[in-house]
Amino acid sequence: MKKRISIFASGSGSNAEEFFKHFQNHPSVEIVSVFTNNKSAGVIERASRYHIPHHVYNRTFWQTGDVILDILAEEKVDYIVLAGFMLLIPQALVKQYSDRIFNIHPALLPKFGGQGMYGSNVHKAVKAAGESESGITIHFVNEEYDRGTIIYQESCALSPEDSAEEIAAKVLKLEHKNYPKVVEQEVLK
């Protein structure tokens, strides 16, 4: 029986699309749905191209997680992948899916993590700190931002001349290259 994954995303969905491509026609894993809190998120159009159903819910529905848990149960979802999802995951979901919710952070945790540290905020902070490297951290989600068990990290070298945008581009390449493969290894253990 295939492992079933739901993707949670709030933005353009470039990481989500890497999952759609990676698991398309996969013998053991399938992406069964996308959840978003943003009715104009690019991930919706990307999911449609792959014939993956999506659900749009506002912040109120995310507060307890009850409605989301019911839908995930109906869809028989085994794992959740956060791909640029901008809301804290409700405790009920974290408890139900303990060590089965994946997130990727665009820095080498524990540096540059925590509330407010996402997207360009992270890359600007890395630049301001004069770091010689950055990278990605794939981790399980727990009740605190960026504090779950680390599964995988990979770094990239930075030069003092790199802008925050150039740092972001280097890190995004690592995200696309590694995130689906690392999740695949974990769910097939």
> Residues within the annotated binding site?
13-15, 59, 103
Considering the candidates 54, 55, 105, 123, report the single residue annotated as catalytic: 105
**Residue numbering of the annotated binding site for (6R)-10-formyltetrahydrofolate:** 59, 103
Q: Which residues contact 95 (CB under 8 A, 6 or more apart)?
A: none
Annotated catalytic residue 105: yes
Residue 137's nearest CA partner among 94, 170, 108, 97 is 108
CB-CB neighbours of 38 under 10 Å: 17
Q: How far apart are CA 57 and CA 70, in angstroms?
A: 13
> Which amino acid type is present at position 33?
S
Cis peptide before 110 (omega within 30 of 0): yes
Residue 71's nearest CA partner among 96, 99, 108, 105 is 96
Q: Indicate which residues carry an active-site annotation.
A: 105
